[in-house]
Amino acid sequence: MFVGWDWARETHDVTVMDGDGARADRWELAHTEEGLANALARLQRHGDPADLPVAIETSRGLVVDRLPAAGHPVVPVHPNAFHAMRPRWGASKAKTDAGDSFKLADYLRTDGHTLRVLAPTDQATLELQALTRTRDDHVEARTAAVNQLAALLDAHWPGAKAVFANLDSAIALAFLERYPTPQAAAKLTPAKMRAFCKRHSYCGRRPAHELIERLRAAPKAASRLGHETVADLVRAQTALVRALNATISQLDGAIAAAVEEHPYVPLLASMPRIGTINLAQIIGEIGPMLERATSAEQLIAEAGVVPVTRASGKSRTVVFRYAANRRARLAITRFADNSRHSSEWAAKIYNDARAARKRHPHAIRILARAWLRVIWACWRDGTCYDPAIHQAGRKAKKPATKAEAA
């Protein structure tokens, strides 16, 4: 028996099909606890859940979580691939919920041997992935908030922006909270500035009188907003940046605690220049790929650091792979870029690629592919990373060879 599940936000449509392609059952259900519970109970009438694979056009969400928990193998079908198959059931490409659930079940019946069953991610890896992704989102939000604050200062108080660039971020935020407008800083003297910097443990990169000179020398803004309004805007934006800093710090602590308990950490913790956050990102994003990959090449392709060759007749192009996990690609390329500064083997691969006239991003992807093969070997053999074991040190001493293509 085969199941096609057409999902939506409010209602779902389910079709059960036998091995001959005949519809054994079909119903519509609401996206409620009662609807999902009744649907899972109704599926059990058709056999053991382990023998009832479900095809669905998503790989995540509430339904995808509930189906494996009930024992059903879940086969995610990419919407683009399913759309390309529609002519099989008619040239008009008609679309209805009932029709889609039937077609999904039929697609699973005929092509299920070519489709991959969704493998659940290890619980510890899943939690680490959620923490690192949330942290990345907060870092992006902080970058946007800081840019908005800089634009606000540029429009209403360029002098503060000039000082802001020479202070540590925490001290700059404290300065803006104390002096949010030119009027608030009108009576600021070098002595007061020196006392302020000392109170906030400023490193002293710029003396107080120079900071005051920069503050006074900057052009005055022709803003028509009142200074009280500007003060409210600056303090509100400063509070937003402070709040994001606090949440990022909180997440850093949670990530550090989760990393200490993760079973994959001993395998990769000794890799060159891999910090706690980057290690957590690699485990959270590359870890699920390791759990389902059957070869190093599959791992490299899913991480998005391998090129895609398109050849037909006399035409041949090699293009960047976009159909990949973007977060995984960012995690492994960040590590690869850092590793070349302390690993001779990594530096050699990067320098050979640059010598072959590869651009920096291209050379980093080549190095990332090499590191993924090392990570795959650590995972496959259950051994911790060691340059001697993985022959990284010896490879660095070999004569230079032609850099990897693409």
pLDDT 10s digits, 136-194: 999 999 999 999 998 888 888 877 777 776 667 788 888 888 888 888 888 888 888 88
- Provide the b/e sequence for 368-401 (b: ≥16 CB within 10 Å): bbbbbebbbbbbeeeeebebeebebeeeeeeeee
Does 252 have pLDDT greater than 90? yes
- Dump pLDDT digits (tens) for 114-144: 888 887 778 888 899 999 999 999 999 999 9
| 3-class SS of residue 239 | helix
More confident of the two residues 77 and 312: 77
Does 53 have pLDDT greater than 80? yes
- Dump pLDDT digits (tens) for 292-304: 888 888 888 888 8
| 3-class SS of residue 144 | helix
More confident of the two residues 351 and 176: 351
Rounded-to-integer distance, Cα 160 and Cα 219, Å: 11
DSSP state at residue 19: T
- At 390 the pLDDT is 65
Where does residue 67 rank: exposed (0-12), middle (13-18), buried (19+ CB within 10 A)? buried
- At 166 the pLDDT is 64
- At 167 the pLDDT is 67
Q: Are strands 54-56 and 315-319 parallel, antiparallel or unpaired?
A: unpaired
Mean pLDDT across the stretch 254-277?
90
- Dump pLDDT digits (tens) for 279-334: 999 999 998 888 888 888 888 888 888 877 777 777 787 777 776 788 999 999 99
The tokens of 358 are what?
């590869």
pTM confidence score: 0.76
Mean pLDDT across the stretch 240-251?
94
Cβ-contact 307, 318 below 8 angstroms: yes
- Provide the b/e sequence for 297-311 (b: ≥16 CB within 10 Å): eebbbbbbbbbeeee
| 3-class SS of residue 405 | coil
Does 396 have pLDDT greater than 50? no
Rounded-to-integer distance, Cα 181 and Cα 178, Å: 9
- At 353 the pLDDT is 93
Q: Mean pLDDT score of the chain, rounded to an integer?
A: 85
